[in-house]
Amino acid sequence: MSTRIRWGIIGTGRIAGEFAEGLQQIETAELRSVASRRQETADAFAHKFGAAHAYPDYQRLAEDPELDVVYVATPHSSHCENTLLCLKAGKAVICEKPFAVNGGQVAKMINVAQNQDCFLMEAMWMRFIPLIREARRLISSEAIGDVRMIQADFGFRVPFNPQGRLFDVSLAGGALLDVGIYPLAFSAMFMGEPKEIVSLPALGETGVDEQSAYVLRHEEGQLSVLSSAIRTQTSQSAWIYGTKGRIHFHTHFWKAQEMTIFVDGCEPEVVSMPFSGNGYQFEAQEVMDCIHAGKLESDIMPHSESVTLMRTMDRIRDQWGLKYPME
């Protein structure tokens, strides 16, 4: 395989566009093909981002012999189906978060990837942002002692639209899978899988959680206090509290470029790690590095982490009695 990696994208929505912009930051990445449910939509996306091929169905893209890897950027409810389509065609896949709708789907995706000897990764782009990776290094070195508590929220307010994706229960809409996954994944990076969960949703008239809150208790009594919303604007910030200090991500913690470290007895230290582009290039680069190395999963976002995260969200929905129509 040459150093150049040829990409395909399934889906042409906002996230697909952001990922295509991220690819433009990588010299050895080539957006080769794109697929949509309509030819005109695929054509417009291909023209905007310089893709050579535009397909009106996903099967044709999956079978494109010129592709090395496919990014799946369709609605949550289609992630499993679209990923399996590409894996069975022998393509490496990075699938947008949430990896799937439930743990059973995630297990099936991983099983097929292993049977096909194909690379597979959840597109949890937060894990690959330079500042987040530095925070993980600091926590591992006990810069603020033992972590005892995490607080994080991700909420925004959009107008109510019963036909919109976020409010459509048949597309697995709602705050939990769309943005609640970020504070939950943030907690998991530093605390692992929770032992106990207490959660409450505010379910809207379409049946999705319009806002929700989660308190997690971990192995040694550590706590995570988290929330998410699609009808409530929140600070979108995060705190990590340790026995010797704390770390504050002021806003947009999942793509932060600056954090403040407070160590007991010391002056606060601001750590800035700015980057060009929108940040999606870091997860794309990881995929390319793994493909070149012949890996079937990423060390930064391994399959086990995706399994744990989806299991946590399944447990939360079980508490609410919320099932999606496709389950």
Q: Binning pLDDT at 50, 70 and 90, where does residue 97 land?
A: very high
Residue 188 class from Cβ within 10 Å (0-12 exposed, 13-18 middle, 19+ buried)? buried
DSSP code, position 142: T
Cβ–Cβ < 8 Å for 125, 282? yes
Q: Which residues, at least 6 apart from 284, have a Cβ–Cβ distance to it below 8 Å?
A: 7, 19, 22, 23, 26, 29, 71, 94
**Domain end residue (candidates: 82, 103, 124):** 124
Residue 298 falls inside a structural domain: no
Q: What is this structure's pTM?
A: 0.96
Both 17 and 51 in one domain: the answer is: yes
User: For residue 1, is pLDDT > 70?
Assistant: no
Query: Tell me, what CATH number does 262's domain have?
Result: 3.30.360.10
Both 269 and 138 in one domain: the answer is: yes
Both 34 and 106 in one domain: the answer is: yes
Q: What is the average per-residue pLDDT within 288-304? A: 98
Cβ–Cβ < 8 Å for 144, 138? yes
Residue 256 class from Cβ within 10 Å (0-12 exposed, 13-18 middle, 19+ buried)? buried
Name all contacts of 255-262 with Cβ < 8 Å and 24+ positions apart.
255/125, 255/126, 255/129, 255/279, 256/129, 256/131, 256/132, 257/129, 257/130, 257/131, 258/131, 259/131, 259/135, 261/138, 261/143, 261/144, 262/144
Structure tokens at 132: 């987040």
Residue 302 falls inside a structural domain: no
Both 110 and 245 in one domain: the answer is: no
Both 116 and 213 in one domain: the answer is: no
Adjacent-strand bridge partners of 10: 35, 72
User: For residue 252, is pLDDT > 80?
Assistant: yes
Residue 153: helix, strand or coil by DSSP? strand
User: For residue 3, is pLDDT > 90?
Assistant: no
Q: Which residues, at least 6 apart from 36, have a Cβ–Cβ distance to it below 8 Å?
A: 11, 12, 42, 45, 54, 55, 56
Phi and psi torsions of 50, nearest 5°: 75, 30
- The domain tally of the chain equals 2
Both 112 and 152 in one domain: the answer is: no
**Domain end residue (candidates: 88, 104, 124):** 124
Cβ–Cβ < 8 Å for 36, 12? yes
Residue 280 falls inside a structural domain: no
Q: In this predicted structure, what is the pLDDT of residue 322?
A: 97
pLDDT digits (tens, 9 = 90+) for 56-90: 999 999 999 999 999 999 999 999 999 999 999 99
Both 119 and 234 in one domain: the answer is: no
Q: What is the average per-residue pLDDT within 173-182? A: 97
Of 115, 53, 122, 128, which Cα lies nearest the Cα of 87? Answer: 115
Both 52 and 196 in one domain: the answer is: no
Both 80 and 206 in one domain: the answer is: no
Both 163 and 235 in one domain: the answer is: yes
Find the domain containing 82 and state its range.
5-124
